[in-house]
Structure 1
Amino acid sequence: MTTRVRSRDLAFLAEETAATPRHNATVEIFEPGESGFDHERLLELIEDRISFVPRYRQRLQPVPGRLANPVWIDDPDFDLGYHVRRSALPRPGTPEQLRELVARIVSRPLDRTKPLWEVYVVEGLADGRVALLYKAHQALVDGVETVDLAQVLLDTSPEPKSLGGDEWHAWRPPTSSSLVLGAVRDNLTRPRVLGQTLRSTSAAAARTADAAGERAGRVLGAVTGRRHEGETPISGRHSQQRRVVSVHTDLADYQRIREVHGGTVNDVILATITGGLRGWLMTRTESLAGLRRVRAVVPVSVIDRELEATSLGSQIEAHVVDLPVGEASPVVRLHQVSYAFKSHQETGRGVAANRLAGIAGFAPSTFHAIGSRVAAWENVRGLQLVVTNVPGPQSPLYAAGARMVATYPVPPLLPGHLLAIGVTSYDGGVSFGLTVDRDKVPDAEVLGTCLTEALDELLDTVTGARPRVPRGRRTKKPSRP
């Protein structure tokens, strides 16, 4: 059985280069418990549930002559052991060593001749913990046809549910002649397919011209010694290598700040990111005069029938916000961020965080994947940063009986971006995942420290303060007897 690749998904594949691999990644850390959790247990779990994500057993098949977009076909040589890999750190492995391993793995593009995903089981962590690293292409997980594999592996109780697997057999691969005939038929009988084919062909020609122009620009820059136009500490031409930083904080701190100053937890998180960027730039002795605001795209969940439907109960749209890194006051930064999201909240289309986290089978990794896709579509001139913030469940999740104790995203870098930030709240914590260019941002750990300092700065403003009472909920002061 074949399904034609949509033009939007094809763009993620066509725009991928060695320096800009277009895949999302997520790290999950587990306590094995009494039953244990290792490579073999994970293989059994995936084999039992992979039928719920059938595209994870499909690969891309181009059409001869590019008469139409490629198709997804069952991989006749599918080998689960190839995709589920085993790795280890020297015991006792530290979080820093884990992040270094993750950075090296996410720096490598996925093999286009195989289904576009990998999972790494990383053993050897301190206290007997085990980490899983999921890595899936942006063209694979769209939230419509396919959710992230992590979503079908996690349970809400330590007793794993056996779903029985399936007796899967790959469909026979199509021949070249059948691919050509199918392309001609679709182009003649389905105007939408013809339009996608024409758009893909035009886009390919445009990308070729852009690539030639970029190569000429690099040669000219090398000869003249000029700095690339538009370069800042967070934007510019990046290398093939990445660095990953994780920061773990408590959700209660953000809730306390929100209770005193108003707004939402999302506002407080973005204000923390703003303060962290400000502190980091100042440690670099960067002048804030030319970078007083960082234009960021923040995907948000909405209910809007005009947007592409997902299987998770809401749609995702991009919201562009200017993060006021030039503002010295943490409270003013918070209010400015809150005001920037006021128009979104007033539309009535927004989806509350507790509703998202309450979706059956919810896993933040799918929303991070969709958010990064939306951000890539909105990557217009002037955008400097992508921030995906996903509220996760506030009760423990399990895989094959092992409890997940922490999780953080590893978002991809868009072309021209040196930094990407993903945020996940889970089981009382808020975890930041930072992806940076290894060469251009060697002090990424400093940025991580500045995030915690920015949160502490906001917490200092609420010490001893009374919670803010929203309008409409204030009670009349009782009169004296």
Structure 2
Amino acid sequence: MLLPMLPTDSIFLSVESRQTPMHVGGLQLFQPSPDFGDVQSMFARLIRDDDVAPMFTKRATRSWRTAGQWAWEQDEQFDIEHHVRHNALPKPGRVLELLALCSRLHGTLLDRQRPLWELHVIEGLADGRFAVYFKIHHALVDGVSAQRLLQRILTPDPAVRNLPAPWATHPNSGGDGAPGSPTTVVREAIELTAEAAGLPSALLRTVNRGLREQSAPVSFSAPRSMFNVPITGSRRFAAQSWPLPRIKRIGESVGGTVNDVVLATCSGALRRYMQSLDALPDEPLIAMVPVALDLSGHPQGGNAVGAVMCNLGTHLDDPADRLNAVRQSMLQGKEALTELTPLQIVAMTGIGMSPLVLQGVPGVRGMFRPPFNLIISNVPGPRTPLYLNGARLDGLYPLSIPYHGQALNITCTSYSDVLAFGLTGCRRTVPHLQRLLGYLDDELAELERSA
């Protein structure tokens, strides 16, 4: 049976190419307990779990039967052993080798003839830990949902064993009203019709704000930079964690949020990195920042996720000045979004990102200023320590999507009392990406001294 695919989901399949795989990923590091057993036994249990939810057995299809549109159909030849794989690191088994493996895995396209996901169990770390790398196409889920799926095999109780696999059937998985179901497609179409009348005035307000400042969902002031060029399919992934209390103290001292400090830390690190390559623009970099908004007091009610174009203040020498510029920009951006309905937020965000699609068209690349210079997102994660068959989760790192005109993506995820930075970039366009980790550490220390 064919299942309609939401237009927003089909975009990720339509723009995908060898140079721009459109999947998100996550890396988990585990410290085994004395009674954990071995990784091979855990892997064998995973591939024996044949209770697979429909979402994990559907594959994308497009033909005359779907009138040329993307749709979902169940894979009648689903093979769990294709999707769940066992890897071992080469010696000396450092985190460096682990990140190199994840870079290669993340740069490889998922097979469109099969369901669009993979899970890799990785052993061979010299310190005795093991890892799990999971990737899933953005047409199926977003980055936040991917992290939640991966956490299904985890529990706050170290004594619990043999939890269901992430792909196991769960209540309400794939039922009526689920993402992509016919009910959802029809309901969203009705909502689109109901609110479409307000889009022209919302667009006018958004464009006017974008012309006056950088903090609207649409920006016209992002400079050309080394990140805003066509990319290759080669990937480099770098990751590191910092104590969350350090970041919170800085935010509290200036009346800002954790996200403000994250953005200011990235701003200073990017400034140092680009200066080292003699590639820092005179104008400030603009970051596209996904934000979750509480619209409970809004006439439309509910919650919404939108995007703010944030002035990173990379033209400023002083770390405190950069933090203040970021804080003011984010306040203005959130204020701009609260003037819109949830649908208008999604529409304006889509319009703000639309020039990116043109970056994938030969002959058009480079003709327009970038809509923004990079994406920096901060995704809340588990607040308490978690375990996998008694093995403690030591680290949780997100991998995201570079694209033509967006050669670098920075995504952060909190876990327990740490904040993990995951940097995903085009290996050939963003050289020595790992140096950014050192610059992040330096900038955090500078912000502490200036706060």
Tell which structure's C-alpha radius of gyration is larger.
1
Structure 1 pair 330/379, CA: closer, same or farther in 2 (3 Å)? farther
1:22-421 equivalent positions in 2, closer than 5 A: 22-34=22-34, 35-36=36-37, 38-42=39-43, 44-45=45-46, 51=52, 53-64=53-64, 66-67=66-67, 69-142=69-142, 148-160=148-160, 232-289=225-282, 292-304=283-295, 314-343=303-332, 378-380=353-355, 381-421=370-410
CA offsets 1:8-51 (integer angstroms, 9 cap, x no match):
21111011000000000111101121323525424535765964
Give the length in aligned residue pairs.
Answer: 380
Q: Using a 3 Å threshold, how does the CA distance of structure 1 residues 104 and 147 change in structure 2: closer, same or farther?
A: closer
Go from structure 1 to structure 2 and tell me whether the alpha carbon gap of 1:375 and 1:109 turns closer, same or farther (over 3 Å shift).
Answer: farther
| TM-score for the superposition, normalised by structure 1 | 0.71
**CA RMSD, 1 decimal:** 3.6
**Which deviations, in whole Å up to 9, do the C-alpha atoms of 1:282-331 show, x marking residues without a partner?**
11123542xx31111111112459x9x9xxx9532111112110111111
Query: What is the TM-score of this pair, normalised by structure 2?
Result: 0.75
Cα drift, residue 65 of structure 1: 6.1
Structure 2 vs 1, CA of residues 108 and 266 (structure 1 numbering), >3 Å: closer, same or farther?
A: same
Partner letter of residue 428 of structure 1? D
Q: Among the aligned pairs, what percent are the same residue? A: 33
Cα gap change, 1:148 to 1:75, in 2 (>3 Å): farther
The match for 1:174 is: none
Unaligned runs of at least 5 residues, structure 1: 169-185, 196-229, 351-370, 463-481
- Conservation of the 8 A alpha-carbon contact between 2:144 and 2:379: no
CA–CA distance in structure 1, aligned partners of residues 394 and 351 of structure 2? 30
**CA 449–321 in structure 1, closer or farther in 2 if over 3 Å, else same:** same
Deviation digits for residues 85-136 of structure 1, max 9, x if unmatched?
A: 1111124411111111111111111000000000111101122111111110
The 2-side partners of 1:282 and 1:191 are apart by 46
Give, as a single letter, the amino acid of the residue that structure 2 aligns with 1:38: V
Cα shift at 1:269: 0.7
2-structure distance, mates of 1:375, 1:102: 30
Q: 1:342 to 1:110 in 2, by over 3 A?
A: same
The one-letter code matched in structure 1 to 2:330 is F
One-letter code of the match for 1:340? S
- Give the match for residue 3 of structure 1: 3
1:45 touches 1:400 (CA, 8 Å); kept in 2? no
Gap runs ≥5 in structure 2:
170-182, 193-222, 340-345, 356-369
Structure 2 distance, partners of 1:416, 1:10, is: 20
Instruction: State the one-letter code of the partner of 2:286.
Output: R
Instruction: Please report how far the alpha carbon of residue 235 of structure 1 lies from its aligned counterpart in structure 2 after TM superposition.
Output: 1.4
C-alpha contact 1:48 1:163 (8 A) present in aligned 2:
no
SS where residue 386 of structure 1 aligns?
Answer: strand
- Separation in 1, partners of 2:253, 2:113: 54
1:12 maps to: 12
Contact 2:47 2:81 in 1 (8 A): no
Aligned residue for 2:438?
A: 449
